[in-house]
Amino acid sequence: MTGRDGCSFWRPIRWLSHYTGLARLTPEDLDTWQKLLEARRDWLAQLGTKYVFVIPPDKHSVYPEYLPDWLKKGEQPSKLDQFINT
């Protein structure tokens, strides 16, 4: 998808529903993520290693000024917002 000033965004179908807030995590999804990350953290702690979980930003969140004018951010929290606020 081409945005302002010719900026390209890769695979818009994949992230458009995330950006607009239409994609949602279920309570079960959030619980599964929490259990998985805590299990990894605990396992590595037993080995004396710290666990760092990083979510890299998407291009559209770093450069929103280059998105097309017709694309508006949704009012609902994103999946990332849901994840962080759990």
Q: Which domain holds residue 8?
A: 4-84
pLDDT digits (tens, 9 = 90+) for 14-23: 778 878 888 8
CA distance 73 to 63: 13
pLDDT at 12 over 90: no
Q: 2 forms bridges with which residues in the sheet? A: 8
CA distance 66 to 3: 5
pLDDT digits (tens, 9 = 90+) for 24-65: 899 999 999 999 999 999 999 999 999 999 999 888 888 889
The model's pTM is: 0.73
CA distance 18 to 56: 15
Count of domains for the chain: 1
